């Protein structure tokens, strides 16, 4: 970004902060309203003389020191390097440094970067937990998009896509990812394309197609391998395994997961836990229940962060092996506060089946189906229908069995059995 070319954007930001209308400024500075409007929207340049006249008239203290904008550029590049290589500690340090200096950046040539840093800080947050400043950043930055370089705009669209995905707004998320890839040129951050495609693939899997997600995931993997970023490449491997298990290609999924689990020092990075949990659901879906139980026992997962992943599948595996007491014992060992809604629904269904209560079985089935459809949790929908098909066979309920088979086939074709 060449800041001096965008005084119009900065003037607009300062004008809005002071609740001045464009008519106020036009009249006070004796300049054309049309010219000012075009300058504020990037259609014409606001020269430095007019910008300084604006600052003087409204007695705005502004720092023209170019070193501040250079400093923010360095921070942004350092932040992207940390993010690209999954250095969370360094990432937090940079965001803290920026937050501590935001007040000095607000009245300087670096002010246009403030929304972008706020978006980076808020990207992983649940939308409901974002501050007003963070939430506004995702909207107000649209006013200044032409001021940014192509890769910076690609990053902005990527962050919008990421947040839209967290809101389960998959169509909007897919659109933002497509815009990010369309404008990306790789001059600033060559691996940003891989980051976009890594997350784009996951959103495609949730909202559109298992196979298309798999194909884009392979593209992301190749980008990271090309740049020697093996942590990100292993993240792609785990996602590719998820796409393959949804395609019922279990041997292919396990091949990718073994590559992760056998990687040197992989226990020190989060992708290890992801691979363990993906292997557990893969073994369960291929009905290798004893192996799934043994695998879970042999590969511990740190649940200190409150995320127990797919471990609630272990009681289900005991049920499928006819080990009903162990199933109940295992369910009782889980802290209810750590269980996700789909886990609780699965446990509710298992308990109803073990009691043989037809009414409760139907209610629990409907509850789990609603939850998984709302989440677009395809793999847990597959677990649900695997369980239902097994149960209806065991009680010779042919009508319900046919329905379960039909709905399972819908899920395998990436169609939700229930409209949410």
pLDDT tens per residue, range 38-69: 888 888 888 889 889 988 888 888 888 888 88
Strongest mean pLDDT among 102-111, 152-161, 265-274? 152-161
pLDDT at 19 over 70: yes
Strand partners for 108: 63
Cβ burial of 245 (10 Å; 0-12, 13-18, 19+) is buried
pLDDT at residue 240 in the model? 97
Band the pLDDT of 11: cuts 50, 70, 90: confident
Band the pLDDT of 348: cuts 50, 70, 90: very high
pLDDT at residue 269 in the model? 67
pLDDT at residue 306 in the model? 46
More confident residue, 407 or 302: 407
Q: Round to whole Å and give the CA distance between 346 and 376.
A: 15
Structure tokens at 318: 């005991």
pLDDT at residue 272 in the model? 85
Residue 36's alpha-carbon distances to 24, 150, 339, in angstroms, are: 11, 25, 56
**How large is the average pLDDT for residues 361-383?**
96
Least confident residue range of 202-216, 243-257, 291-305: 291-305
Contact 278, 245 (CB under 8 A): yes
pLDDT at residue 55 in the model? 87
Band the pLDDT of 13: cuts 50, 70, 90: confident
* Entry pTM: 0.88
pLDDT at residue 128 in the model? 83
Taking each helix axis as running N to C, give the angle between helix 210-226 and helix 230-246, from 0 to 180 degrees, rounded to the nearest 10: 160
Least confident residue range of 19-28, 66-75, 122-131, 147-156: 122-131
pLDDT tens per residue, range 132-186: 888 888 988 988 888 899 999 999 999 999 999 988 899 999 999 999 999 999 9
Residue-wise burial string across 155-194, b where 16 or more C-beta atoms lie within 10 A, e elsewhere: bbbbbbbbbbbeeebbebbbebbebbbebbeeebbebbbb
Residue 43's alpha-carbon distances to 14, 38, 262, 300, in angstroms, are: 18, 5, 55, 58
Contact 140, 160 (CB under 8 A): no
pLDDT at residue 357 in the model? 94
**How large is the average pLDDT for residues 71-99?**
94
Contact 327, 319 (CB under 8 A): yes
Strand partners for 63: 108
pLDDT at 273 over 50: yes
User: What is the average pLDDT score of the chain?
Assistant: 91
pLDDT at residue 271 in the model? 85
Which DSSP category does 63 fall into? Answer: B
């Amino acid at each position: 970004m060449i800041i001096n070319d965008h005084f119009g954007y900065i003037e607009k930001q300062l004008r809005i902060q002071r609740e001045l209308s464009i008519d106020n400024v036009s009249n006070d500075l004796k300049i054309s309203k049309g010219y000012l409007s075009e300058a504020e929207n990037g259609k014409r340049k606001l020269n430095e003389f007019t910008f300084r006249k604006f600052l003087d008239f409204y007695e705005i203290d502004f720092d023209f020191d170019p070193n501040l904008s250079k400093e923010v550029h360095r921070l942004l590049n350092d932040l992207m390097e940390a993010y690209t290589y999954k250095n969370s500690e360094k990432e937090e340090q940079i965001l803290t440094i920026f937050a501590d200096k935001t007040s000095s950046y607000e009245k300087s040539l670096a002010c246009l970067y403030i929304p972008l840093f706020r978006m980076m800080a808020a990207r992983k947050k649940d939308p409901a937990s974002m501050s007003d400043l963070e939430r506004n950043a995702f909207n107000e930055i649209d006013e200044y998009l032409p001021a940014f370089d192509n890769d910076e705009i690609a990053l902005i669209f990527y962050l919008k896509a990421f947040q839209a995905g967290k809101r389960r707004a998959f169509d909007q998320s897919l659109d933002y990812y497509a815009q990010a890839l369309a404008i990306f040129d790789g001059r600033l951050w060559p691996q940003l394309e891989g980051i976009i495609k890594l997350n784009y693939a996951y959103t495609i899997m949730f909202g559109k197609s298992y196979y298309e997600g798999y194909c884009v995931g392979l593209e992301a993997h190749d980008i990271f391998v090309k740049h020697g970023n093996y942590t990100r490449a292993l993240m792609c491997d785990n996602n590719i395994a998820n796409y393959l298990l949804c395609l019922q290609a279990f041997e292919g999924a396990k091949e990718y997961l073994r590559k992760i689990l056998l990687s040197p020092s992989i226990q020190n990075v989060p992708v290890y836990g992801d691979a363990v949990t993906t292997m557990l659901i893969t073994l369960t879906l291929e009905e290798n229940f004893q192996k799934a139980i043994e695998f879970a026992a042999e590969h511990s997962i740190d649940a200190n962060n409150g995320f127990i992943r797919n471990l609630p599948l272990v009681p289900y595996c005991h049920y499928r092996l006819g080990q009903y007491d162990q199933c109940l014992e295992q369910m009782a060992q889980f802290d209810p506060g750590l269980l996700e809604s789909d886990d609780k629904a699965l446990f509710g269904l298992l308990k109803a089946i073990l009691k043989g209560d037809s009414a409760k079985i139907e209610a629990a089935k409907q509850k789990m189906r609603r939850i998984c459809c709302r989440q677009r949790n395809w793999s847990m929908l597959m677990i649900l229908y695997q369980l239902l098909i097994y149960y209806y066979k065991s009680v010779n309920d042919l009508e319900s069995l046919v329905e379960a088979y039909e709905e399972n086939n819908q899920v395998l074709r990436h169609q939700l059995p229930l409209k949410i």
